[in-house]
Amino acid sequence: MPTVDRVLSDETGAERTGAKPPAPARSEPKVSVIVPALNEARNLPHVFARLPQVDEIVLVDGGSTDDTVAVARRLRADIRIVRQNRRGKGNALACGFAAATGDIIVMIDADGSTDPLEIPSFVETLRSGADFAKGSRFQPTGGSADITRLRRAGNKCLSMLVNLLFGTRYSDLCYGYNAFWARHLDVFDLDSTSPPPNSTDGRLWGDGFEIETLLNLRAARAQLEIVEVPSFEHSRIHGVSNLNAFTDGMRVLRTIAREWPRRRDTIRVAERQVR
């Protein structure tokens, strides 16, 4: 027999139902944090201890041989674990983005170099009107305890090249602390489903550290509202970085070359539409 809510009377004699009122509509955007990780078991306790209140944490494991996944689950019972299907940070992020359910997606590193306490600044920037909140170590109050002179010089030269070719004003092209509204995910056109290719490194283009440049260039090409957020980069706590200044710098340069023709095609389409 179905249950019928009782009708009660309050002190004024007005009728009211015994059912609970509907929950108020959610006014705050749901925030998903994506954490690519490969053998970061020793760093996760520090990173997770500094995480502010967020709605979802997606850890993307790159085939760790240590206790990365077990440590993550012990630290956060609500964490979601995703296994990436190819190799590299770019592929890890693509898989994490595809799995995220939040309105806002934030990408941080698992080695402690990006400070989780800065997440509210990125979220507030998006809530204030930005489509893409881009971390920068070279904005006032930003900085780095990790970047070498060679990487700093290379980053500056690459940023100047992109600003010239793409009409942007980036101060820090090669930094991986970013956040964006999930509704813009299609803009980045990332592949999270294809199996590893028959290549020497088992990666598609964009699967490596060039992902940061790729995101920045495609955000600019789509004419998203991009706002740089000052950020301080800390030194990795434990372990050794997989980044190579020369080889990854060359991948960034190749990314710029590959994306530039697509930028020109977009401009031509826009000009035809104006005419």
Residue 16 counted as domain residue: no
Give 21-55 pLDDT, tens digit per residue.
554 455 799 999 999 999 999 999 999 999 999 99
249: domain CATH number?
A: 3.90.550.10
Query: Is 13 inside a domain boundary?
Result: no
pTM above threshold 0.85: no
Query: Per the domain annotation, does 5 fall within a domain?
Result: no
User: What tokens were used for 26?
Assistant: 């959610």
The answer to whether residue 10 sits within a structural domain is no
Mean pLDDT computed over 243-254: 73
Measured CA to CA in angstroms, residue 216 lies from 61, 175, 203, 224, 238 at distances of 24, 10, 20, 10, 28
pLDDT score at 261: 73
pLDDT per residue as tens digits for the range 95-126: 999 999 999 999 999 999 999 999 999 999 99
SS3 of 218-241: the string is HHHHCCCCEEEEECEECCCCCCCC
Q: What does pLDDT average to over the chain?
A: 85
Specify the number of domains making up the chain.
Answer: 1
What's the mean pLDDT in 233-257? 77
Q: How far is residue 59 from each of residues 105, 148, 183, measured CA to CA in Å?
A: 13, 28, 21
In a domain, 127, yes or no: yes
Inside any domain, residue 7: no
259 found inside a domain: yes
What strand order describes the sheet that includes 226-230? 80-83, 56-61, 31-37, 104-107, 178-181, 132-136, 226-230
Determine, yes or no, domain membership for 12.
no
Give the tens place of pLDDT for each residue, 69-96: 999 999 999 999 999 999 999 999 999 9
Is pLDDT larger for residue 14 or for residue 32? 32
